[in-house]
């Protein structure tokens, strides 16, 4: 293990980006993003990516990293993050990992769960069913065999719903069972995992403000450009915010309804993130305002202990 990682996690809108940048400045570090939506180019406003000014201040990796139609997985993230970490450490810099995609953080820190390969014919059959019956019907099929995974996945996330159904059909085992069986025998990196844990009322207020700000900043226009570029079926278009902006663009929701539904669905997602991070081994919950200097000092102390 060549790098000690400072990991900043937490629910959406909890302030991960700002804290990661502050810690990175103190440590002369660079940031590796662990966000399953910010990885896509062109999907900017709805993923709350670090701004151009923030990225100019502290270098970020794996932001706008892949094309919109790419299927990006936790295993691919692990490989890409490993390369970024090695490259950063090779230049004598420290590494801060920041993001709210729990599975990405888990596979980076502890390893990838073994899962079956794909079956092209089965996948084509499931895709054809979704085209005929709709994403809601596909989601109902997943609820019937794997309610735990269905609860985690939004109806519009066809790619991951198909994958979960594929795993079940090929093995008789649910995707959620694979996740539970993931053993963490050792850490892949020495690290400290800090989870921002704001009061719920405070977080929900931030979520509502962020949802409104995204639409004010032009999220519907961004979606219009993406659709015109041929990205209506891109994986990130199934994420919260983009689903509602697309519905607004197509006249299925008013702007007021789109903002309200985005805030509501984001609150639900934040609850799932809370549940996930509470189960992570070694997680250290920190309530705002978070002391970035204390986090940076903890990293230095871990490095010093390792060098003895």
Confidence at residue 85, expressed as pLDDT on a 0 to 100 scale: 97
Tens of each residue's pLDDT in the chain, 308 residues: 478 999 999 999 999 999 999 999 999 999 999 999 999 999 999 999 999 999 999 999 999 999 999 989 998 999 999 999 999 999 999 999 999 999 999 999 988 656 677 788 888 889 999 999 999 999 999 999 999 999 889 898 888 899 999 899 888 888 888 766 655 446 889 999 999 999 999 999 999 999 999 999 999 999 999 999 999 999 999 999 999 999 999 999 999 999 999 999 999 999 999 989 988 888 999 999 999 999 999 999 999 888 76
User: Strand order in 190-196's β-sheet?
Assistant: 60-61, 29-33, 94-98, 4-9, 190-196, 283-286
Confidence at residue 181, expressed as pLDDT on a 0 to 100 scale: 64
CA distances from 221 to 14, 98, 101 (A): 26, 28, 26
CB 100 within 8 A of CB 16: yes
Place of tokens 């790098």: 3
Confidence at residue 113, expressed as pLDDT on a 0 to 100 scale: 59
Confidence at residue 172, expressed as pLDDT on a 0 to 100 scale: 86
Confidence at residue 185, expressed as pLDDT on a 0 to 100 scale: 47
Cα 6 from Cα 291, distance rounded (Å)? 14
Q: DSSP for 231-277, please give it.
A: -TT-GGGGSTTHHHHHHHHTTSS-HHHHHHHHHHHHHHHHHHHHHHH
Confidence at residue 111, expressed as pLDDT on a 0 to 100 scale: 85
């Amino acid at each position: 293990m060549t790098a000690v990682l400072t990991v900043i996690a937490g629910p959406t809108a909890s302030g991960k980006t700002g804290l990661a940048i502050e810690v990175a400045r103190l440590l002369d570090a660079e940031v590796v993003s662990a966000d399953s939506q910010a990885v896509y180019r062109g999907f900017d406003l709805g993923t709350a990516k670090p701004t151009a000014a923030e990225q100019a201040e502290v270098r970020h990796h794996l932001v706008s990293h892949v094309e919109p139609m790419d299927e990006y997985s936790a295993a691919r993230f692990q490989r890409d993050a490993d390369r970024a970490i090695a490259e950063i450490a090779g230049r004598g810099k420290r590494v801060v990992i920041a993001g709210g995609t729990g599975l990405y953080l888990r596979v980076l820190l502890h390893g990838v769960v073994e899962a079956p390969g794909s079956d092209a014919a089965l996948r084509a059959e499931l895709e054809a069913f979704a085209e005929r019956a709709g994403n809601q019907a596909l989601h109902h099929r997943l609820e019937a065999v794997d309610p735990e995974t269905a609860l985690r996945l939004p109806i519009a996330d066809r790619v991951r719903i198909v994958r979960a159904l594929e795993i079940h059909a090929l093995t008789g085992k649910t995707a959620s069972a694979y996740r539970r069986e993931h053993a963490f025998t050792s850490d892949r990196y020495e690290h400290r995992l800090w989870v921002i844990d704001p009061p719920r009322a405070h977080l929900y207020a931030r979520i509502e403000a962020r949802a409104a700000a995204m639409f004010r900043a032009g999220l519907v226009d961004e979606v219009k450009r993406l659709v015109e570029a041929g990205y209506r079926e891109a994986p990130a278009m199934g994420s919260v915010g983009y689903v509602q902006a697309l519905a607004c663009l197509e006249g299925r929701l008013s702007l007021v309804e789109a903002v309200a539904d985005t805030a509501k669905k984001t609150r639900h997602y934040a609850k799932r993130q809370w549940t996930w991070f509470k189960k992570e081994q070694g997680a250290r919950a920190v309530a705002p305002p978070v002391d970035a200097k204390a986090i940076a000092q903890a990293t230095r102390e871990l490095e010093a202990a390792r060098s003895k």
